[in-house]
Structure 1
Amino acid sequence: MLQRMHAAGIALAMGAATLVLASPATAAQAPSISKVSVSPAPLVVFDKPVTATFTFTTKSAGKAELQLKAPGQVSVGTPVELKPSPHGQWTKWTGTRTFEAKDAGRWNLLAIAHGDGEKSADGTFEVSKALDTKVADFDADPDRAVRGERLRLSGRLLAEGKGYDGQTVTLTFREQGTDAYRHVAKVRTGRGGWFGARVEAEATGWWRAEFGGTAVARGSVSDTDRVDVRHGDRASRITGFDARPEPIDKGDRLRLSGTLRVDGQGGLPGQRVDILFKAAGSSRWERVTSDVTGRDGRFWASATAHKSGWWRAAYRGTRGVDGTSSGSDWVRVVQPAPPAKADTRVLAFNAYPEPVKRGKYLKFKGLLQVADDGAWEGYEGKVQLWFKATGSRTWKYVKTAWSNDHGRLATKTRASKSGSWKFVFRGDADTNGDHSRVDHVRVKR
């Protein structure tokens, strides 16, 4: 009997094992893969090698590979080392490769996700050498002009020897006797890379055109072209120009001064000098104010500081005297820190009479003071009266009272319940807040 039961148990166990083995297995999921992104784009090599980053994502993939095939390469692509970064069911794969100018051309890429099968994504990307540019045929016409006459500035922007259309070129000028070029105007190149503009002749000096470059092209600067501007018999100059203080708080007044001099005479009196400003990031000078020079040629002006930028003085000239302009003076404008608030205190608080009969007036008095140069003085302000009934945890607002010029507070309200009272000053634009001591009053029937 025991042998029959043992055999039956074995058969049952085998049957159960057979049943488990017969249950259907969960099917493995095929991998998926995204397109490969390349950064930076466009991939342009200037003077130094550029490292590009390749990124793609996979799902249900145990591993992945990325192959790059150079222009003209017919063999299997070169593998790129990848670093995985799991994000839930997805894995982000990242790899890098450095490119030089000799690598220019169209590259092929192939990304493969390995799992229960394979899934791939292919594509191409371009590696370019930065375009070499040249500002050619620059001309400022005429070469001799009278002050105020219009000059024609023209030239052509070339990239790899061909006209470079739709680009921004800056026209700059350096006045005789100064070291720096200043921006005068910006123009866009047209068909064939040609550009042109008309500007006013202000002083003798050198003109040139500057191309700042782009993400795919190098910058370049034209040759200079001198223009002699005739104003009169004697040259003038502005010396000692200064804009101060620096830095300055936004909204404060800036003081600007200098001296207008003329050759052979010294200070030039009775002449108007304009004060010009160019904000940081702008190419345009704007007239802000002016002043008339004194007996020694000195001028003083003031202006409100709104933005950081450059300041300079300009003199238009007069009969027998050439015009001129000063060098530029940079001034940084900062946001002023908010003024510190004064401390206050509420003292001498008293609620009376005590006890008080229900329905009768309960009176309150106190004193509001502010700290001023180390001393406490009465302060006129809005103070709130608060009440907390006996047995309650909550303070409730009752009414508002104003202190007088000496800080004295007085108000009243009808008594209804026993409890605690206090004055609360919330502070204002110039002061911090405070509250008084608590005074308990019993209300009797």
Structure 2
Amino acid sequence: MISGSTRFENSLEFANRMDENDPLKAFRNRFIFPKVNGKEAIYFCGNSLGLQPKSTQSYIQRELHNWGEMAVDGHFHGEDAWYHVRKKSKPALANIVGAHEHEVVAMNNLSSNLHFLMVSFYQPTDKRYKIITEAGAFPSDMYMLETQVKFRGLDPDKVIIELLPREGEHTLRTSDIVDTIKKHGENLALVMMSGLQYYTGQLFDMESITKTAHEVGALAGFDLAHAAGNATLSLHKWGVDFATWCSYKYLNSGPGNISGIFVHENHAERPDLIRFAGWWGHDEGERFKMEKGFKPMYGADGWQLANSNVLALAAHQASLDIFEEAGIKNLRAKSEILTQYLEYLIKEVSGSSGIIEIITPKITKERGCQLSLLIHKGGKAVFDELYQEGIVGDWRHPNVIRIAPTPLYNSFLDIYKFAEILKLSLKKFAYN
């Protein structure tokens, strides 16, 4: 069994032994691995696009069959009738983000959902209008905040407060986030930031951030693109007001596939909440009356607009069923050890050279499975060499390589092989 007290070794025998004792090892065989230069890749890029489950084609094919056999009747007949098909993903999504089923729903895509949720949860007044976010947030978040503020006739430079790490540091201290929230409390409307920072890999203390935001009278929402399916989340317990995520990274549901949202049940029946409404968010018991007067469904479902994308949900469900079988807590336990092993081997390989700086937090609870490697010399050449040798990671300008060992399909042997190739690449491009 994998244990958090494992003493690591830089050896092929150790990696093989860890894989042999891994209770989740069989899940690796349920995914399709891409090839690089004709050989199966060592894939560490689930933080950009997760691998395809082998079952995905059959899930989609079933819905194509239903479409062909029943056409419009598929909305109300057959297995998983499309009118209610969104409900099938709710148990898994609730488990993954730590919520009640009525607090989650799969819909739209992440950027759209951020905008729709901001319509409801950013309601600036003369007194409360400021937004706190992290500096260097993913572009979608920056653009969304900027345009939402402009849409309300306000100046982003005067409204948006960006949190910066301290001089000489790469990540934010929770105490500094909390202090900033308190400092701007009287004028603060919303804290809206990522749950896990895409560039550094820092997992934020969402519980403390939310608690402090509420104490000063503000709301708290999170972009969980890099956290859903990666970190252990308890959105309901933490009191998070809203959140959204994509399904194509750690949730392995296909490029650009459907997003999901969380809305805390405290907001489930608030008639004062403004929203951009659509047909599918209207009370489904009265939906086909086709009458004026929007009556939102209870919970997150009330933020839906259009009818469900059935083929997208089918691909999504193929992965969610695997998550339910594996268990998010089991996956997180393996993830922590995999990432610790990756960190150990990187330090073994780079030694005291100073060429590689891991800018992701060292404390396990402050990160997911991603390590961001700041390469101080020869970075792009090292990255390109890794790829030519079959390592699929991610390059971020100006000199960071992101490596994300994903517990559903990565192994300890993958990490050992990566370290061996990294050692050779550094000798070739960084040590000369």
Higher-strand-fraction structure:
1
Structure with bigger gyration radius: 1
TM norm structure 2: 0.15
Higher relative contact order (CA 8 A, sep 6+): 2
Instruction: Report which of the two has the higher share of helix.
Output: 2
